[in-house]
Amino acid sequence: MISRSGKGNFFAAHYEWLAAGVGILALVGAGAFCFLGGDAEADIEAATVSISGRGKERAAVADADLTGCCRSTNVSKTVELARRIEDRFLGSFASEKRVFCISEACGRAMPEKYDEEKNLVCVFCGVTQKVAQVAKPLDADEDGLPDAWEKKYGLNPADAADAAADADGDDFSNLEEYLAKTDPTDAKDHPDYLDSLAIELPLKKTYLPFIFLSATPVPKSWRCEFFDASRKDSYGRKGVSTSVLIGENIGDSGFVLKSYEKKSEKRAIKGSVNKRDVDVSEVVIERKRDGKQLTLTVAESRKEKPMSVDVQAKLTYSRRGAVKNFDVVAGSEITLSGAKYTISEIKTVGDGAEITVENGLTGKKRKLVSP
């Protein structure tokens, strides 16, 4: 019972406010059901709250039309709406971005996943939502060079032949320069020539053509003998000996005898407790083209295998249909379209190879790796 003073039971005194609150909660619940992708056929019924006050019945609140929220045909607005919803409360239910289907027969929230042609397709009803369009630069002659780029560098946007031309004579076409983002009018600015250099497998080892056999003292020096088993003498006999003084060339091998040191060591005699002196004298030789030095120990016999000097690689340079091959070792120099490079290192990596090449002009090093 309600007293005239307004005092008494709390619910009786505030029933108007409580009724309005229930109505608002009903609206919020209906909207949330729509946003969460409820059945498309289940339209939201009228959310009507009858409010009575002081003996007089007031007009009912108008039906709430929420279909515009979940059945928008505007894709951009739909996506934006979905993102807002995801940010505010869908993120707590779904681990991926979702958008609402634009089909009025569906309208459900779906994962934002695209097919191979970049179309967004509803996973529930299969309706295509939108097609991603990528703007392409204008290319009137369809030679792969955008018109704006051709005009910038003085080329003809209406002539497709200039894509294969070499405006600055650096051995790269204008199309290659465009793809590499270099200046087709500056011969010093071009793609790397090393991009056209390939390693051919397998790698090979190079060996000295001789072994160190012996040394004989001479006034103020030593005369050392080297033996090349791969050559024949003037009588057709296999093996050629070359005798040189310190500081002289070792035949035409490209090596120079730099020094000699007489050395020996005690070694056990097989089947005996005694030991004997064994000659282990050494010579230092130097390769003239790169200054590489090697130390050789005197050979025990003429059948000893020569020392390995380098790992050798075969490189193939292919530009504009022309092919050039190089057999290189560490220290070798090669020229590619007028640019000089030095092979710094060659090494085996697994079943392949890795070669470090240094630009002779800039000093910049780059590693080439076999496929």
The residue with greater pLDDT, 319 or 154, is: 154
Lowest mean pLDDT among 30-39, 124-133, 265-274: 30-39
Residue 305 is predicted with a pLDDT of 93
What is the Cα–Cα distance from 69 to 81, expressed in whole angstroms? 8
335 pLDDT above the threshold of 60: yes
What percent of the chain shows pLDDT beyond 90?
A: 51
- Report CA 302 to chain centroid distance, whole Å: 51
- Tens digits of residue pLDDT in 20-39: 565 556 555 655 554 454 44
Lowest mean pLDDT among 2-11, 212-221, 263-272: 2-11
Helix or strand run (H / E) with residue 128: strand 128-131
240 pLDDT above the threshold of 80: yes
368 pLDDT above the threshold of 50: yes
The residue with greater pLDDT, 233 or 261, is: 261
* Best CA proximity match to 283, nearest among 260, 265, 304: 260
Residue 12 is predicted with a pLDDT of 45
Residue 58 is predicted with a pLDDT of 42
* Best CA proximity match to 82, nearest among 93, 70, 67: 70
Q: Cα-flanking dihedrals φ and ψ of residue 232, to 5°?
A: -120, 145
What is the Cα–Cα distance from 123 to 98, expressed in whole angstroms? 11
Residue 101 is predicted with a pLDDT of 80
Mean of pLDDT values over 190-203: 93
Lowest mean pLDDT among 18-22, 299-303, 326-330, 360-364: 18-22
Tell me if the bond preceding 202 is cis, omega within 30° of 0: yes
Radius of gyration of the chain (CA): 44
Contact status, residue 120 vs residue 110, Cβ threshold 8 Å = no
Mean of pLDDT values over 84-93: 43
The mean pLDDT value of the chain amounts to 78
* Best CA proximity match to 231, nearest among 209, 254, 252: 209
What is the Cα–Cα distance from 279 to 262, expressed in whole angstroms? 8
Residue 20 is predicted with a pLDDT of 53
- Tens digits of residue pLDDT in 6-20: 444 454 444 455 555
- Tens digits of residue pLDDT in 295-323: 999 999 999 999 999 999 999 999 878 89
User: Which alpha helices (DSSP H) does the chain contain, by range?
Assistant: 10-13, 15-35, 67-70, 75-88, 147-152, 174-180
47 pLDDT above the threshold of 80: no
